Structure 1
């Protein structure tokens, strides 16, 4: 199995999990989904610089090299995603304190404990 297939599969799983969690009805899974999407984007940016093992990250005549630009982009994206995640966590906490619920739409569902199903 090649390294490219494994990285592509990991990016696909992170993206699918991030989209699934982002579409959930509570704020904490939404925050986790956004974080997973940012990890998938970082892995995608990093893989754009060619996946080469044991090669120098600078250019040498006739040698295969790894492009340093995607590495710089990933470092920048990590900082931006950390700040974005902190902002979304603060917004989710503020929303919970204002509305009293952690649902994305602000509604509270009634839970019937006898049959375990939620009643709207």
Structure 2
């Protein structure tokens, strides 16, 4: 699964860079959006794709009983999606003027 995602991420980076090198401002904005999605997918993949438990420590224990998913990449991706949406909306407003 991670190999397939690595190929998809590489394809998204290539498509984003290709669109950013075109002379059209619309293609530049689309390329920037695709590049942002590729970066989000890369961070998600680096955070491991393992089905794990939520990071909850039971009362009386010092560590979780089972391996758990790292919540930091998920929080970073959520923040990046919100910031990317704001940048894209701002770029579209500038394009419309």
| Global fold match (TM > 0.5) | yes
Instruction: Indicate whether 1:27 and 2:22 are aligned.
Output: no
- For residue 94 of structure 2, the aligned residue among 87, 91, 111 is 91
Deviation at 1:47, TM superposition (A): 1.4
Distance 1:52 1:84 in 2: 31
Distance 1:93 1:24 in 2: 19
Give the number of the structure whose alpha-carbon radius of gyration is greater.
1
Aligned CA-pair RMSD: 1.3
Structure 1: unaligned runs, 5 residues or longer: 95-120
State the 1:57 CA deviation.
3.0
CA distance in 1, matches of 2:5, 2:85: 22
Aligned-partner SS, 1:81:
helix
Q: Which has the higher helix share?
A: 2
Find the counterpart in structure 1 of residue 44 from structure 2. 46
After TM superposition, the structure 1 = structure 2 runs for residues 97-116 of structure 1, keeping only pairs within 5 Å, are none
In structure 2, C-alpha distance between the alignment counterparts of 1:57 and 1:45, rounded to whole Å: 19
